[in-house]
Structure 1
Amino acid sequence: MSTVLAQQWISVDGFLAGTKGEADVFAAVGDFSASEAHNTALLKDIDEVLLGRRSYETFAAFWPAADDEPMAHQVNALPKTVCSTTLSSASWGAHAAPRVVPDAVAHIRSQRPTDTRTILWGSVSVMRTLLAAGEIDELELFVAPIALGSGTPLLAAGGAPLSLRLQDSETWPGGVLRLRYTVA
């Protein structure tokens, strides 16, 4: 059976970004070496990267030409799927083009009988849609040492509570915490 891991950077007060989408969470992290080492090891067991349209556009503008980045070869080599109702095609520089699907839930459900391991990066709306449908198995949070006070929360306001069971955790340089949960 397939598994879906959603990975998010988050502030200590539960925000993914500032009120205007600012990347203050990332700016608060002075050393990404632990997350890069973690993801380099993790990506060896990943079969697909899942992205929403906005995350895809950000990633596609960076990773295809990021040859000096530790994870670039793995990120560029992995098959990618973009969930979008506005794109009909997607490119990834000189690498294999991502597949575009209009429905994230249908896509994940079609893979459930297989042994596919999918990682969802960023893509807040896709993550929330998959969580609401019960299609995220694990949630990994990288907690940056910053409190934003307001912004884009992990979960949409008014949604159902999300029950989680802690699998493991680590403290990384600069006060970053990695928390890995099973979605109950």
Structure 2
Amino acid sequence: MSGLIAQQWISVDGFLAGINGEADVFAAVSDFTASEAHNTALLADIDEVLLGRRTYESFAAHWPTAVDEPMARQVNALPKTVCSTTLTAATWGEHAPARVVPDPVDHVRAQRADGVRTIVWGSVSVMRALLAAGQVDELELFVAPIALGAGTPLMAPGAAPLPLRLTASDTWPGGVIRLRYAVG
């Protein structure tokens, strides 16, 4: 795996969430077993999870107590970093707290120099900043079987085109398609 992979759930028409941040993309998925198995295997090669503040808050409310979920042990054990200019601490239940950094680009550049393999989950503003700075090596999309019509797009309005090269794809139960791209 390359240095940094950004992973997103997305609608077939390119939206990460509804107009008001609704999670309709997730609600459209009837079976998460393939994505859980995929990420369980993927996390064996990951050194760090990088999150934005909002995604961190959502994850920290769920994962520390989700002991019966297939990925919980790995998610809770991996070092986590939260990109935020407002947080001073980022607890993770009874597990090691996440590190807080103000700038995702500076952080990833430093981690890359140390050979750290990082995954960004959700965290749209963090992902977009890293894409704009050329710091994303791979983009992995889990396409849910829903068209939203409007909402939060993958790319920021006015963003430069992003050349991608398909490196892997799978069709999963429930109509989900996994697409892995090399960036650049």
Q: Identify the TM-score tier after normalising by the shorter chain.
A: over 0.9
Aligned Cα RMSD in Å?
1.0
Match of 1:70 in 2: 70
CA contact (8 A) 2:3 2:118 kept: yes
Q: Residue by residue, what CA displacement relative to the aligned partner does 1:79-109 show, whole Å, maximum 9, x if unpaired?
A: 0000000001110000000000000000001
How far apart in 2 are the matches of 1:26 and 1:157?
23
Instruction: Establish whether residue 28 from structure 1 lines up as the match of residue 21 from structure 2.
Output: no
Instruction: Establish whether residue 93 from structure 1 lines up as the match of residue 90 from structure 2.
Output: no
CA contact (8 A) 2:2 2:138 kept: no
Match of 1:174 in 2: 174
| Unaligned ranges ≥5, structure 2 | none
Match of 1:107 in 2: 107
- Normalising by structure 2, what TM-score? 0.98
After superposing on structure 2, the runs of 4+ consecutive aligned residues of structure 1 that deviate more than 3 Å are none
| Unaligned ranges ≥5, structure 1 | none
How far apart in 2 are the matches of 1:2 and 1:85?
27
How far apart in 2 are the matches of 1:15 and 1:29?
15
TM superposition shift of 1:112: 1.9
Alignment of 1:117-156 (within 5 A): 117-156=117-156
Assess, with a 3 A threshold, how the Cα gap between structure 1 residues 138 and 7 changes in structure 2: closer, same or farther. same
Q: Report % sequence identity.
A: 77
Q: What one-letter code is carried by the residue in structure 2 that aligns with 1:78?
A: L
Match of 1:116 in 2: 116
SS state at 2:126 partner? helix
**How many aligned residue pairs are there?**
184
Match of 2:80 in 1: 80
CA contact (8 A) 1:169 1:180 kept: yes
SS state at 2:81 partner? strand
SS state at 2:96 partner? coil
SS state at 2:51 partner? strand
- Normalising by structure 1, what TM-score? 0.98
